[in-house]
Amino acid sequence: MIDINLIRNNPELVKENIRRKFQDHKLGLVDEVVELDRLNREAITRADYLRSQRNAISKSIGAMMQKGQKAEAEAAKQQVKDMQEELAALEQKEAEYAEAIREKMMLIPQIMHPSVPLGKDDSENVELARFGEPVVPAFEVPYHIDIMESLNGIDLDSARKTSGNGFYYLKGDVARLHSAILSYARDFMIDRGFTYYIPPFMIRSDVVTGVMSFSEMENMMYKIEGEDLYLIGTSEHSMIGKFIDTILEEAELPQALTSYSPCFRKEVGAHGIEERGVYRIHQFEKQEMVVVCKPEDSMMWYEKLWQNAVDFFRTLDIPVRTLECCTGDLADLKVISCDVEAWSPRQQKYFEVGSCSNLGDAQARRLQIRVRGEDGRRYLPHTLNNTVVAPPRMLIAYLENNLQEDGSIRIPEALRPYMGGKDRILPQ
């Protein structure tokens, strides 16, 4: 959610930002907010005037009664009563205007960073850099489920019986590998100075609407029936939510946090759930990084966050690239975002394994997260997040890039302490 002052003072800038996102259907929202804001401020001004007049007249009634001016006092009492009725109506209007303004403001996109490339959809995202040499082995690389089954490491049929499509049982060395990657990711981020958290896995609706857009909420979140609770789609939601309605001291910034959680997603949309695979599923686990910082530091942290993910994947011998999201593919709350994509030897192309985002002050404004500066003045911090690793999707890249011709899986040196010293997983 952007600053209302920006819409008041520079509505054309806001409209141009909407045009760059190819969301012309939202242009009318700006004029609607301007008009509602005008009416709201008029109501506030009129209400303030009535309160001052009411107070002055109320004080004068006693003096009139003492002077025997009963008729004048009764007239003044009627004036006060009329003002009270008008004030009540104005206060109701103020509440209605404020709610209408908030609803429309929630739909207006955040002002994007000027470096975001222009483009209509994800087909126009821009490759930034590649890290590691993508290799296509001389032997055939099977589908990732076939690799897992050759290791006796997955059971999809039983999961369909208990839970339906989009769920899985991992077992044996593949399950251990899954846990090892998460444990390694935790320690990797702790070594980089991040504080480790395990957050709540359910959050209230006011946190949900504070951290994401309505369309994302509808397509992602599972609601707990009969309660004001939602299952988280990522621990970023809980981690940013922990600061709701909080005033941080400037000396406490930056807050650099890394969190583990299971994640639950409906995955409603064009892609849908895979019947045989673990790329797009309803349940997975993830290690996340979250930063709350001064506005002037947020782009520096943005660069650090995506680099952390790249460095993590390279320690596991997985080639990756970064892909900057264009204006039309950028979510409305984000200032700038890039995807980290891993190399798939089987498909001979890259696929997304994480996303790094700078959300500016959007989440802080929605959640009322404030910072008290050294001069005592308050301001809104910037928030950022990035995926460290999200198996089992990441397992696809791991298995394909570490598959040997004999069907075994090589375990890179960094991961061996978490796998009991094993240097490979053998097919069964």
Q: Are residues 90 and 191 in the same domain?
A: no
- How far apart CA 30 and CA 14 sit, in angstroms, is 7
Q: Are residues 147 and 73 in the same domain?
A: no
Between 229 and 65, the higher pLDDT residue: 229
Q: Are residues 404 and 295 in the same domain?
A: yes
For 194-231, b/e burial (b = at least 16 CB within 10 A) is: beebebbebbeeebbebbbbeeebeebbbeeeeeebbb
| Biggest distance spanned by C-alpha atoms of the chain | 109
Going by their DSSP bridges, the two strands 336-344 and 424-425 should be labelled as unpaired
Residue 270 has pLDDT above 60, yes or no: no
Angle at 126 between CA 399 and CA 365, to 5 degrees: 95
DSSP symbol at 117: P
Q: Where are the alpha helices (DSSP H) in 281-358?
A: 298-315
Q: Are residues 97 and 139 in the same domain?
A: no
Domain end marker among 74, 105, 136: 105
Tell whether 253 is covered by a domain.
Answer: yes
Tell whether 111 is covered by a domain.
Answer: no
Q: Are residues 156 and 27 in the same domain?
A: no
Q: How confident is the model at residue 272 (pLDDT cuts 50, 70, 90)?
A: low
CB neighbours of residue 37 within 10 Å: 20
Tokens of 239: 């981690």
Contacts of 300 (CB under 8 A, 6+ apart): none
Range of the domain at 41: 4-105
Tell whether 112 is covered by a domain.
Answer: no
**CATH classification at residue 284:** 3.30.930.10
Q: Where is 87: in which H helix or E strand?
A: helix 70-105
Contacts of 282 (CB under 8 A, 6+ apart): 163, 166, 167, 264, 265, 266, 267, 273
Q: What is the pLDDT of residue 203?
A: 95
Tell whether 224 is covered by a domain.
Answer: yes
Domain end marker among 70, 105, 140: 105
Contact 221, 230 (CB under 8 A): yes
CB neighbours of residue 422 within 10 Å: 16
Percent of the chain, pLDDT > 90? Answer: 82
Q: Are residues 21 and 99 in the same domain?
A: yes
* pLDDT tens-place string over residues 186-232: 999 999 999 999 999 999 999 998 998 766 777 788 999 999 999 99
Q: Are residues 228 and 341 in the same domain?
A: yes
Tell whether 93 is covered by a domain.
Answer: yes
**CATH classification at residue 71:** 1.10.287.40
Domain end marker among 105, 136, 161: 105
Residue 41 has pLDDT above 70, yes or no: yes
Tell whether 311 is covered by a domain.
Answer: yes
- How far apart CA 168 and CA 158 sit, in angstroms, is 8
- Amino acid 73 reads A
Q: What is the pLDDT of residue 56?
A: 84
Q: Are residues 77 and 171 in the same domain?
A: no
262-276, 305-319, 392-406: the lowest-pLDDT one: 262-276
* pLDDT tens-place string over residues 281-304: 899 999 999 999 999 999 999 999
Q: How far separated are the first and last CA of the chain, in Å rounded?
A: 53
Q: Are residues 91 and 166 in the same domain?
A: no
Percent of the chain, pLDDT > 70? Answer: 98
Give the residue-averaged pLDDT of 68-94.
Answer: 86
Q: Give the three-state DSSP class for 269.
A: coil
Residue 67 burial by CB count (10 A; 0-12/13-18/19+): exposed, middle or buried?
A: exposed
Q: Are residues 93 and 154 in the same domain?
A: no
Tell whether 347 is covered by a domain.
Answer: yes
Q: Are residues 209 and 310 in the same domain?
A: yes
Q: Are residues 74 and 166 in the same domain?
A: no
- How far apart CA 399 and CA 105 sit, in angstroms, is 45
CB neighbours of residue 25 within 10 Å: 8
Tell whether 232 is covered by a domain.
Answer: yes
Domain count of the fold of the chain: 2
* pLDDT tens-place string over residues 146-184: 999 999 999 999 999 999 988 999 999 999 999 999 999
